[in-house]
Chain A
Amino acid sequence: METPSVSHSPRARAWETFKKNKPAYISLWIVVGLAVIALLADFLAYNKPIVASYQGQTLFPIFRDYGERLLGLKLWEPELRKVDWRRLELDWAIWPPVRYAPEELDLRNVPAVSPFGEQYISSPSERHYLGTDNIGRDLLSGLIHGTRISLTVGLVSVGISAIIGILLGALAGYFGDTSFQVSRATLWLGLPGILLGLYYGFYVRRYALGEALGEGFMPFLGALSLSIALAVAVAILVWLPSRLIKRTVWGGYRVHVWVDLTISRFIEVMISLPTTLLIFTVAAIAKPSLFLVMAVIGLTSWTGIARFTRGEMLKVRSLDYIQAARALGYSDLRIMFLHALPNSLAPVLVSIAFGIASAILVESGLSFLGIGVPPTTVTWGSLLSAARSASGAWWLAVFPGLAIFTVVTLFNLLGEGIRDAIDPRLQER
């Protein structure tokens, strides 16, 4: 006999199963912990104190740096701007545990001092706890700040691929080849409308978009939204006359659109591309930029998510409650996004967890080779590659690699945990 349980919804049951899977459950909490480290990286490792009293003044140097970097304010007095805070006569100070910034070169500890060996430091608190790399950068500080980069790369690139994959997969699965019917007028005006919209939004504006991408993320987002708005406006403008033509016999005839066939073929083509090699090639040719790396990873790795969503949608769309929603006269888009999609997303979570792991792996591979990522950016991969140029520096080979391995394992464990939790077949066993 089954023991009575409090919750019966599939979601709650999946959560219960997931919690029983100890490795996955612990992984989840470690990932949360890593996210906290990533957020607070500047308060854990930085070359300025969090709070300090200098010549009777109480200062918050890290926050001031935030003001300068993020808000573009001019907060520092000239004499304090370039100063090494570790050498200042401070009345008192609360320092981050590691007193080095990740990119900072400690030229007294070059090349690569061992964590246990002798270090040229002024006080024990300035120790390089995990040693330095071949050009004198503190390894622990680099690892802490590298967490931020790795997690960002994982989340952003998988975010991009999830948006594309879920959208395409849902369309293919929900409509199939027969359910999406439009009038001839809409088809014959809508398709050119979309093409023309893409032409104006993206082809004509390609220089503006390219420049914005070079400027940074926010300008690019602005230019991209403008492009999308223009494309949509043009598409609607071209499509509008079809409202009239629809009333004629020819224009009113309803035709099937092969949504599933088109998207499935597209997925097949994407799968036959050597994705990693493509990412390497693009990263090697374009200007080094972390955002570009994330975008390229995201744009090439959505096929798994799309296939999962499609398969799930195919199952969900024939369920009774979807029929009921149709009978109520809800629009296809509403049924798809509000009713069918939320119930098809669980398997996608598995893909997302594995996707984050592989995105982090690809990015660290890229920065290991020193391509695609700006040379000044300190990442786990670039720290690991320093082991190749500093002979005998075991700490450079061990710790960054261990960090990559840990994060990849955590996300893989998470993925497995989610899969076991939502796969009903496994529950029966």
Chain B
Amino acid sequence: MTTYLLRRLLFFIPTLFLITLLSFLISQSAPGDPVEQMLVGRAGGGGEQLAERQATMQAYTEKRRELGLDLPIFYFAIVPLAEPETLHFIPQVPVQDALRRLTYKFGNWEAVQEVYRAYLRLDSAFYATAQDTAWGEKRTEVRALLTLLPQEKNYEELRYRARQIGGLLLPVLNPYYEKLVAAIESLPQKAQVWKVYVPSIHWYGTQNQYHRWLMGLLRGDFGISYQDKRPIAQKLGEAVRWSLVINFISIVLAYLIAIPLGVTSAVHRGSLRDRSISLILFMLYSLPSFWVGTMAIVFLCGGDYLSLFPPGGVQSTEHSSDWSLLERLIDWAYHLILPVLVYTYGSLAFLSRQMRTALLETIQQDYVRTARAKGLPQRLVIWKHAFRNSLIPIITLFASVFPSMISGSVILETIFSIPGMGFLSYGAMVARDYPVIIAVFTIGAVLTLIGILIADILYAVVDPRISYTKR
């Protein structure tokens, strides 16, 4: 058994690693610039004057360094020879992305860099011009165009954008502008496309974003929420309690009801009782929980029909810690009874159907027939001989019931406004608060893995044969 568990644990670690890699990969593809998100509300968006602008850029760069976003992404990178090792130093993710795309198109980083430098010179020259010239509206327009220019991903659009700026500029800026246009126009001539197709490896060591993120994760640091700038770990800590409590109650309840139901069904196979139980369970199994939840909210919780239950939440508004424990428990129970029922019935149906099948299979085994032949009473045969052996597959089903509950809580907690992980995640999805979404996924995945591990351990405990299985 020890070797079996050890093997499962050994499998646990690479899978965990893979999950963190996957979460990180998804978080990398989240749109938008995290630094800008963090700076929202500070420094009024760009600024008109050179000094102001420089201050904003300064703050941006500092925040970027603080978050470690100027670091390379992973321990190493296999990239085309054309892609420089230093691209991650360039601030602003969209600009980085646009420059990378241009490099992939023309294969000549020096030439692309030339364009970028010419742009930077034009940009600072533009902000150095006094604001009070007769330039007026055009100035605002140029400013907008100058912000968009370096984010242009398509070469033709970049040329178009540059030409748009051309007609609007002051004569002072013309030399800078011409250099920029020359750099852009010369890109196709300077193209070294072969460089795109020669791979090269960059080695960065532990100074990279993934390593930082992973180390933070191990310390319990999930970053900062965009919405309220609070540490995500703190937000999650409060939320995860509710999710775990509800899931735990539901799973226990599901097992407690499912097992006797499945046994009755199997023992009286083919009878009216079996057939009606099977039919009801089948219907429950196909009932989408979010439909049942919505119906419950619409028809049973206030609104225009019955108001038997509170319309969501986990406690009433006047709930306070001054109440006696019993009062508080009753209040919680009153709020949670409906969500728990909705949580439970799906896995209940699934579990009882599996229980029925498992018991039917064990009843056909020779040793059960032997027990019957010995003249043991039916009760003893079922509960002592067949039942215990049919439990094994049911216990391992914990591994598939638990993850589905964790995922299901996103929808159900939203319907019932339970301040758990799923509700938090839904709020983050609506508000595009990516760090929170990623954190919930990572924790959900780790919880799933732990659930599978627990199922494995239980399996090893209840089934003595497991130690002899090979591999």
Contact = CB atoms under 8 A, between A and B. Distances in A.
* Mutual binders A and B: yes
Interface of A: 196, 199-200, 203-204, 207, 268-269, 271-278, 280-282, 284-287, 357, 361, 364-365, 368-371, 384-385, 387-388, 391-394, 397-398, 401-402, 404-405, 408-409, 412
Interface string B289-301: 0110011011100
Interface of B: 11, 14-15, 18-19, 22, 26-27, 29-31, 78, 80, 101, 104, 153, 196-197, 199, 282-283, 285-288, 290-291, 294-295, 297-299, 303-305, 403-404, 406-408, 410-411, 414-415, 425-426, 428-430, 434, 437-438, 440-441, 444-445, 448-449, 452
B432 to A, nearest CB: 8
A285 B437 contact: yes
A199 B201 CA distance: 13
Contacts of B444: 274, 277
A412 B29 CA distance: 36
Nearest to A196: B199
Given A277-B406, A277-B448, A278-B441, 18 more contacts: A272-B449, A272-B452, A273-B22, A274-B407, A274-B441, A275-B407, A276-B407, A278-B445, A280-B407, A280-B410, A281-B440, A285-B437, A369-B410, A369-B429, A371-B429, A402-B291, A405-B286, A408-B288
A280 B452 CA distance: 21
A397 B441 CA distance: 29
B437 A284 contact: yes
Nearest to B27: A285
A394 B285 CA distance: 23
A368 B293 CA distance: 12
Contacts of A361: 288
B197 A200 contact: yes
Given A276-B408, A281-B441, A409-B283, A369 B426 contact: yes
Nearest to B154: A211
Given A269-B15, A277-B410, A368-B411, A404 B288 contact: yes
A392 B301 CA distance: 11
Nearest to B453: A272
B11 A268 contact: yes
Contacts of B298: 387-388, 392-394, 397
A422 B448 CA distance: 33
B291 A404 contact: yes
Contact of B414 (A357, A369, A391, A408): A369
A278 B304 CA distance: 37
Given A204-B104, A369-B414, A408-B288, A397 B30 contact: no
B338 to A, nearest CB: 15
B445 A273 contact: yes
A401 B291 contact: yes
The 4 nearest A-B residue pairs measured at CB: A401-B291, A392-B304, A276-B407, A284-B429
Contacts of B14: 269
A321 B43 CA distance: 76
Nearest to B449: A272
Contacts of B429: 280, 284, 369, 371
Given A280-B425, A384-B294, A365 B411 contact: yes
B294 A387 contact: yes
A369 B286 contact: no
Contacts of A268: 11, 15
6 contacts: A269-B18, A272-B452, A285-B27, A384-B290, A405-B288, A408-B288
Contacts of B283: 409
Given A274-B406, A369-B410, A369-B426, A281 B286 contact: no
B8 to A, nearest CB: 10
A364 B286 contact: no
Nearest to A286: B29
Contacts of B299: 394, 397
B437 A391 contact: no
Nearest to A280: B410
Contact of B295 (A199, A204, A391, A398): A398
Nearest to B400: A271
Contacts of B440: 277, 281
Contact of A397 (B153, B295, B411, B425): B295
A291 B297 CA distance: 32
Given A272-B449, A272-B452, A276-B404, A409 B290 contact: no
A266 B45 CA distance: 47
Contacts of B78: 199, 203
A258 to B, nearest CB: 12
A132 B357 CA distance: 44
A356 to B, nearest CB: 13
A199 B286 contact: no
A426 to B, nearest CB: 10
Contacts of B445: 273-274, 277-278
Contact of A408 (B31, B286, B415, B449): B286
B15 A281 contact: no
Contacts of A364: 288, 290
A200 B299 CA distance: 57
Contact of A357 (B11, B19, B286): B286
B291 A405 contact: yes
Contacts of A269: 14-15, 18
B18 A412 contact: no
B304 A277 contact: no
Contacts of A408: 286, 288
B197 A285 contact: no
Contacts of A391: 303-304
B80 A204 contact: yes
A273 to B, nearest CB: 6
A81 B445 CA distance: 51
Contact of B437 (A272, A281, A393, A412): A281
A203 B197 CA distance: 11
B303 A285 contact: no
B18 A392 contact: no
